Amino acid sequence: MAGAFFRWGRTIDLETDYGSTAFRSIGDGTSEVEFSETIKPLMPGETYYYRVAIMHIDATNENALSDIRSFTTNTDTSALWIIIPLGVAREGSYGWPIRFGVHSFATACGDPGLGEYLLPPRPPESSMETRFLGRCLDLGQYVDLRNYHSPAQIDTYHVSFLSGGTGYPVTISWPALDSFYTGPVGLHTIDTSVDMLASTSYAITNSDIEDFRIIAAGPTPKRICPAAVTDTVSATAATAAHLRATIYPHGLATTAWFEWGSTSQYGNKTPPKPLGDTIGAVTLEADVSGLTGHSLYHFRAVARNSAATIQGADQVFSTLPGLGEGLPLKFSLHQNYPNPFNPTTHIQFDLPIDAYVVLRIFDLLGREVRNLVNGPEPAGFRSVTLDGTGLPTGVYFYRITGGDFTDVKKLVITR
C-alpha cells in the first residue's frame, strides 16, 4: 500500500523550505493513478515550485520524489494587506524581526503562500528565539497574518520568546502604527499594557515574562503592489540598446528587471535588480546586446515585491542598420503591431531619403482622430506609437504621405 503528498513553496529548495499537502493513500495497484490536490492561499503574480513524494505506508522514509516543476499565479492587484515588523531582543543581542498583520487572502491557520511556514521545535533555552503561537499554528510561525474582512475587526496575536530567565530587559520594538490602524493597538503582558500607537518600543524587565499579546483594532490595509512604467529606449545601436523604466516600490522591498525579445512573448530578461523599499519613483536601467540590426524588438519592465508581480506595458524599439545594410530601398508603410490592440500599437515606415512626413489616424467617417507625425524625418527605418486611449472600439485607418509616396492601412481598437 502506497501514499503520496505534494511538497510546494516559493523557492526551488523543497527539502528545507516548503509546505505540504495531507498524506493520502493511492492504493497498491500497478496501473497509473491520477493524484491531485488544491493548495491555497497563494500570492498573486508569484512563481511556485512543487513535487510529489510517494512512500509505502509502512515505511519511515520517502521512497520516491518526482521532478520539481513550477507554475505562476495570475497577478491580482486587489489584495489588501498590512505587515508589521516586530523586533524582540534581549540585552546585548539583535532581535530578528517577526511580522504580524492582515491580508485579504489569509486564513486563521498557517498560509505558506503568504510566507507563514510552520516551525520545527524550539532551540535550547540559552538561545533567544521568538515566534507566534496560535490555536492551529502547531509549534509556531515567524509570520502571523489574519484575514482582512472589516475595517472594524479586532485581531489578537500571541508572541512567545525564549530567554531562559537571563538577558533582561527584553526590548520589543515596532514602527509607527498610526497610519495602519484607526483603533487602539496594545501590547499586553501579565503585569502591564502598552499603547503601541503612542510609542515604538517597550522593555520587559520581569524575568518571569516570556510571552505577550498584541491586540490591534481597526486595520487600514493598502494595495501595496509595485507599479512599473516602461519608458523609451535610448542609445539604440545596430546590436545593442539601453532600456529605461520608472518603478514605484510603494514601501516594500522591490526587485525589477526587463523582459525583451523579437516578439511580445519576449523570451529574454535582464538580471533582477534590487530597488529598495522607497515610496516614490526609482529608475530602472539596463543594457541589452546581441541584437540584430534593422529589427523590431519588444520589451517591458517587471517589478516584484511581496505583494505582487506587476508587468509594465509592452513597448517596441527598432535597432539601427548594421554595417553594410544601408538605408531602405523604397518608401514603405508596415501593418501596425499588435492589431487589434488596446491601448497602444506600433507603426513602422521606411524612408529611403529624407522627407517631410505626415502620418494621421482617421475614423470610418474620415475624421482625423490622431496626428502622429507632421514634420521632416531623416532617412531610415522609423517607428511611432499610437496610444488609442479615449478612442472608441472600432475600425480606423492610418495614412502616410512622404515626398511622392502615399499609403493607407487599416487598424482595429478593441476594449
Neighbour-count burial of 70, counting CB atoms closer than 10 A to its CB (0-12 exposed, 13-18 middle, 19+ buried) = exposed
Residue 387 in any domain: the answer is: yes
Do 140 and 87 share a domain, yes or no?
yes
How large is the C-alpha radius of gyration of the chain? 29
- Domain contains 392: yes
Whether the CB-CB separation of 252 and 234 falls below 8 Å is answered with no
Boundary-marking domain end, from 270, 285, 318: 318
Q: Are residues 344 and 311 in the same domain?
A: no
Query: Around Cβ 227, how many Cβ atoms within 10 Å?
Result: 16
Give the full edge-to-edge strand order of the sheet including 344-351. 332-333, 344-351, 380-387
pLDDT of residue 125: 66
pTM (whole model) above 0.75: no
Judge if 88 and 203 occupy the same domain. yes
Q: Tell me the average pLDDT across 151-167.
A: 87
What's the pLDDT at 297? Answer: 86
- CATH number of the structural domain spanning residue 46: 2.60.40
What CA–CA distance (Å, rounded) separates 383 from 236? 13
Cα 107 to Cα 114, 221, 246, 309, 348: the distances in Å are 10, 16, 34, 22, 51
Q: Please, is 295 exposed, middle or buried when counting C-beta atoms within 10 Å of its C-beta (0-12, 13-18, 19+)?
A: middle
Q: Same structural domain for residues 145 and 198?
A: yes
CA-wise closest residue to 214 among 195, 237, 198, 199: 195
Residue 175 lies in a domain: yes
Q: Based on the fold, state whether residues 261 and 375 are members of the same structural domain.
A: no
Mean pLDDT over 397-414 rounds to 95
pLDDT in tens, 311-326: 898 888 888 776 555 6
The number of domains in the chain is 4
pLDDT at 239 over 90: no
In a domain, 323, yes or no: no
Higher pLDDT, 383 or 43: 383
Q: Are 310 and 336 contained in the same domain? A: no
Q: Please return the burial class of 312, using the count of CB atoms within 10 Å of its CB with bins 0-12, 13-18 and 19+.
A: buried
**56 in a domain, yes or no?**
yes
Asked if residue 169 has pLDDT above 80, the reply is yes
In a domain, residue 103? The reply is yes
Give ∠ CA 142-164-137 in degrees, rounded to 5.
Answer: 25
Q: Are residues 112 and 185 in the same domain?
A: yes
Nearest to 175 by CA among 92, 255, 100: 100
Give the number of other Cβ atoms within 10 Å of residue 378's Cβ.
10
| Domain identity same for 299 and 197 | no
Between 205 and 380, the higher pLDDT residue: 205
Q: Sign (positive/negative) of CA torsion 104, 107, 113, 117?
A: positive
Query: Are residues 297 and 387 both part of a single domain?
Result: no
| DSSP state letter for 414 | -
Using pLDDT thresholds of 50, 70 and 90, give the confidence band for residue 142.
very high
What pLDDT was estimated at residue 59? 57
Strand order in the sheet with 143-147: 143-147, 98-103, 81-90, 170-173, 201-204
Q: Are residues 201 and 121 in the same domain?
A: yes
**Contact status, residue 102 vs residue 221, Cβ threshold 8 Å:** yes
Confidence band, pLDDT 50/70/90 cuts, at residue 407: very high
pLDDT(235) > 70: no
The Cα 71–Cα 378 span in angstroms is: 47
Residue-wise pLDDT for 256-303, tens only, equals 999 999 888 898 999 999 998 776 789 999 999 988 877 788 899 999
Residue 27 lies in a domain: yes
Distance between CA 169 and CA 163 in Å, rounded?
Answer: 10
Quickly count helices (H) and strands (E) in the chain.
Answer: 0, 32
- Give residue 10's pLDDT band: very low, low, confident or very high (50, 70, 90): confident
Query: What is the length of the chain?
Result: 415
Give the percent of the chain with pLDDT over 70: 92
* Cβ–Cβ < 8 Å for 341, 314: no
CATH number for the domain harbouring residue 345: 2.60.40.3080
Q: Which of 194, 217, 240 represents a domain boundary (last residue)?
A: 217
Give the Cα separation of 402 and 382 in Å (integer).
12
Q: Are residue 66 and residue 85 in the same domain, yes or no?
A: no
Note the pLDDT of residue 163. 64
- Cell representation of residue 331: 518608401
300 lies in some domain: yes
CA separation for the pair 413, 369 (Å, rounded): 13
Domain housing 253? 227-318
The residue among 318, 340, 368 that closes a domain is 318
Is the pLDDT higher at 350 or at 238? Answer: 350
Provide the CATH number for the domain around residue 292: 2.60.40.10
Tell me which of 32 and 127 has the higher pLDDT: 32
Based on the fold, state whether residues 52 and 154 are members of the same structural domain: no
